[in-house]
Structure 1
């Protein structure tokens, strides 16, 4: 496939589809097991560019990986035996890799140099470097990558304070550093953020306590490796949920999807818009809530998305903006300024995409106002942002059939989180015929 793809409108979408493993949980399964000495098997790991970046960085510290049937085997000497990386820790496009591994690096007795691609170099890093410096790590005087973190002097202070933003990445960075600090840490969040790190570390023996918005970490506990079964990624499932809701006659099943309440805001938003989203066979797998999801085509209505709901649906907001473009009435998105510092400025790029397709959009500093319309085929650009490329595909599928297809430039961006996206799209369309 070239870096441009053409998507024609049409449907319905029908059938069952297993979405790839959850990206956030995959990163954490790799990192948490690397911290402990021994072996662990990870089943369902997302094989994507972002997760490969995390593996490449951990390999430089001495962690080994091996494919074993359907599992990935992690073999680690433990964080206490990590060796200095022979080169720069290149995190590619992955903000999760660079921020979480910075926290690990703060607890290592040597300097680690981090960098990434042009997109990652534009994302804010002071939000993790400042807390690490307050704990005693030496860090580069930098706002963005490239930067370095040096834990040679030890972490003489625990972290005790409020996070400036509700961010699972920032919180996890501090938690990883707190495991190696000389004193306990207390982290207070301004709002809910994904809690995969706390769940996983707690299961592995870390002395970590969660009480509402407060996370307490006491250092010194020995971590034990833990086999992990990674559920399907709700952020990947969201594209099919929204596409199925928009296209009449659609009926799709998405088995084994993670429905962690800190991540499932997309379901709440879609239901508030009138979508028929059902969860079946709800259970816990490797400490994470999982369900089988079904979605049918339905009439959607405008809504307001703001407050804590933003944090639990942040990655899905570009796709939800697409849903809003087809919904009856007006949708407003507020409190979403964090979208401006993702892989692209997602407020600006999502607004531009919808505008190119004929939708009336008013852009605000922290969100947007979207007026009901009938998006039409157009040429749009992903700006190298995987979620924008997939959101554009959903808009193209549901667009006015008489307006022609949509050309999506930068289509290969899906490799970052969902390499099989285009083939899965073909499957669902074929099953719907």
Structure 2
């Protein structure tokens, strides 16, 4: 395969409107929860990247019928959910590729199943620490074997988990999600206390599927044994992907860009707070709710930016956007 060579030239201005790629975090969770819901879940604007496709293949290997069709505005996925107790043991290892999100969330879900499973990944994923999910899942009663806390994970059949109250030593939406997903089939209540605010897509989407979840400050609580009801999901555009176009429009003179359908989850909009503090002209319009998530269109105009201080709390809400913030600076 020949090498690709890209030539770039300075732009005089940026004008127009676009929709960036869909949100990967929400795409993963749509597939996971749709697979264990009762009924047919319809997903529009699913991100068709390799990470999300790894989630789809994993649930297909566990007996979930997932069909891709072409709708009026692009691909539409229909998932025939099998319910909380309907997954079946896979005939082979579940390869998560390079997706840490899929690996950790699906590990949490599988820890309560009455069949054995093994989660693997590529060379890069195999170096990542999994002890942070193994510890709380083991406390709940899961039987998990690993390669010194790293993939692959071998999850043994489980007769039943018990809910725990877990105070996470790390701020991680993936750890939180793994524990909450394990709690869906656990006895009693599962309580997760966050060290710092993290993305809340899992608890938001669980509520969108009709599963009762309570949030009190830093503590998220759910009781095992309830059912998820299939729903219709429109995955919003990813604010992390939109951030690059936002900054480009801000620093290129005489620019005006409109970015449509951007996810505006309050745990993800730290990038906008920081840029506005720097003097950015960013207007938010057409705000609405889609599947429990706030979505809006962003209108960005070129601006004279000034430096500002970024606190630890700011970083927690803009962790993926720090590189592009540095470009703006």
| Band the TM-score falls in, shorter-chain normalisation | over 0.9
The CA distance in 2 between the partners of 1:122 and 1:291, in whole Å, is 38
- Alignment partner of 1:118 is 2:118: no
2:257 touches 2:300 (CA, 8 Å); kept in 1?
Answer: yes
| CA spacing shift, 1:179–1:4, aligned 2, 3 Å | farther
Q: Following TM superposition, by how much is the alpha carbon of 1:74 offset from its aligned partner in structure 2, in angstroms? A: 0.8
Q: Deviations over 1:194-217 (max 9, x none)?
A: 111111111222221111111011
- Alignment partner of 1:287 is 2:288: no
- Alignment partner of 1:145 is 2:159: no
TM superposition outliers: structure 1 runs of 4+ over 6 Å: none
Q: CA RMSD in A?
A: 1.6
Q: Deviations over 1:142-190 (max 9, x none)?
A: 32212222342321x2121211122111111110001111121111101
2:256 touches 2:301 (CA, 8 Å); kept in 1?
Answer: yes
The CA distance in 2 between the partners of 1:201 and 1:295, in whole Å, is 33
The CA distance in 1 between the partners of 2:200 and 2:277, in whole Å, is 24
Matches within 5 A, 1:165-204: 165-204=170-209
- Alignment partner of 1:57 is 2:58: yes
2:283 touches 2:298 (CA, 8 Å); kept in 1?
Answer: yes
| CA spacing shift, 1:192–1:61, aligned 2, 3 Å | same
Q: How many residues of Structure 1 are paired with residues of Structure 2 in the alignment? A: 323
The CA distance in 2 between the partners of 1:21 and 1:242, in whole Å, is 18
The CA distance in 2 between the partners of 1:48 and 1:184, in whole Å, is 35
- Alignment partner of 1:89 is 2:94: yes
Q: Following TM superposition, by how much is the alpha carbon of 1:3 offset from its aligned partner in structure 2, in angstroms? A: 5.7
Q: Deviations over 1:332-365 (max 9, x none)?
A: xxxxxxxxxxxxxxxxxxxxxxxxxxxxxxxxxx
1:207 touches 1:219 (CA, 8 Å); kept in 2?
Answer: no
The CA distance in 1 between the partners of 2:327 and 2:151, in whole Å, is 32
Q: Following TM superposition, by how much is the alpha carbon of 1:81 offset from its aligned partner in structure 2, in angstroms? A: 1.8
The secondary structure found in structure 2 opposite 1:81 is coil
Q: Following TM superposition, by how much is the alpha carbon of 1:38 offset from its aligned partner in structure 2, in angstroms? A: 2.1
Considering fraction of residues, name the structure with more helix.
1
| CA spacing shift, 1:4–1:316, aligned 2, 3 Å | farther
Q: 1:308 aligns with which of 307, 310, 313?
A: 313
Q: Deviations over 1:309-328 (max 9, x none)?
A: 2121111112212222xxxx
| CA spacing shift, 1:11–1:58, aligned 2, 3 Å | farther
The CA distance in 1 between the partners of 2:48 and 2:155, in whole Å, is 27
Q: Which residue of 1 aligns with 2:70?
A: 69
Q: Which residue of 1 aligns with 2:214?
A: 209
The CA distance in 2 between the partners of 1:318 and 1:171, in whole Å, is 25
Matches within 5 A, 1:262-341: 262-324=267-329
